[in-house]
Amino acid sequence: MIRLSLNHLVSAAIVLWCSVLISTHESTAAQPALDENKNIVVVLGMIHGQHKTSDRYSVEYLQRVIEIIDPDYVITEIPPDRLAAAAAGFAQTGIVTEERVARFPEYVDVLFPMTKTHTFKIIPAAAWTGAMADYRREALDRLSKDPDRASDWKNYTAALKAMDTEIGDRDDDPLFIHTDEYDEITKKGLAPYATLFTDDLGRGDWESINEAHYALIDSALNNHQYEGKLLLITFGAGHKYWFMEQLRLRNDIVLMDPRPFLEAAQDSAQ
């Protein structure tokens, strides 16, 4: 059934205009031919609590972006064992109170409210558990105080500081967040975290958790392979470079640059 909503028509126009923007933002390499049965995948990096305070990447703006994208599925940073409780609570009270979902404004203030008027399906794909988060937090606290790991801790914090400095006041600029430059900066800034503490953080170390997140994303993409649908992935922006590297290896999807959608949402607000 063809959906004739304004948002879908806008999305379709953007899809046609951007069909050559597959796999990388700035790449000029030859791209594979489009297959009408391939799913389109759009990755949006979230800034979590900052959506509540940012003028550039506010919850209202994010909602406009998602409305224009008009996804069929939204793969989210929600643990699979928490989605049902979050959805049930929202259905009963209109409020998301499930603690591991309620911390994300992109879901509390945007995605769940949109389910009242939109038909997309939410797919949970976060591998985090409360126990993993607690273990990681306690391990990092110990590492920060361990004199034998002072050098590692110094390298880790220096890289984060350098990353923050390089990003500067662009940390809530959605157009900058969705560039290769942003991904390169975050990958470099998080490299010490990804390599120095692998044996200290259990299953919550950076590489392990990204592998676990992506395994759930990969499963969702496999489950809906060749449906000709549009799938939106919404995770913290820091994870984005890791996922993009994996998604670019797939030949069964059209990986689309989200910036035309972001620009369209900006234009619609003017």
- Give me the sheet containing 39-46, strands edge to edge: 121-124, 73-76, 230-236, 39-46, 253-256
Closest listed residue to residue 254, CA positions, set 74, 8, 42, 25: 42
Q: 210-219: per-residue pLDDT in tens?
A: 999 999 999 9
Quick one: pLDDT at residue 266? 93
Mean pLDDT of 65-79: 98
Mean pLDDT of 80-84: 96
What pTM was computed for the model?
A: 0.87
CA–CA separation, 38 vs 32, rounded Å?
Answer: 12
Residues 39-67: b if buried by 16+ CB within 10 A, e if exposed: bbbbbbbbbeeebeebebbbeebbbbbbb
Q: 8-34: per-residue pLDDT in tens?
A: 434 444 444 444 333 333 333 334 445
Quick one: pLDDT at residue 267? 85
CA–CA separation, 104 vs 99, rounded Å?
Answer: 9
Q: 128-152: per-residue pLDDT in tens?
A: 998 999 999 999 999 999 999 999 9
User: Roughly what angle, to the nearest 10 degrees, separates helices 259-268 and 59-69?
Assistant: 120
Q: What single DSSP character describes residue 270?
A: -
Quick one: pLDDT at residue 15? 44
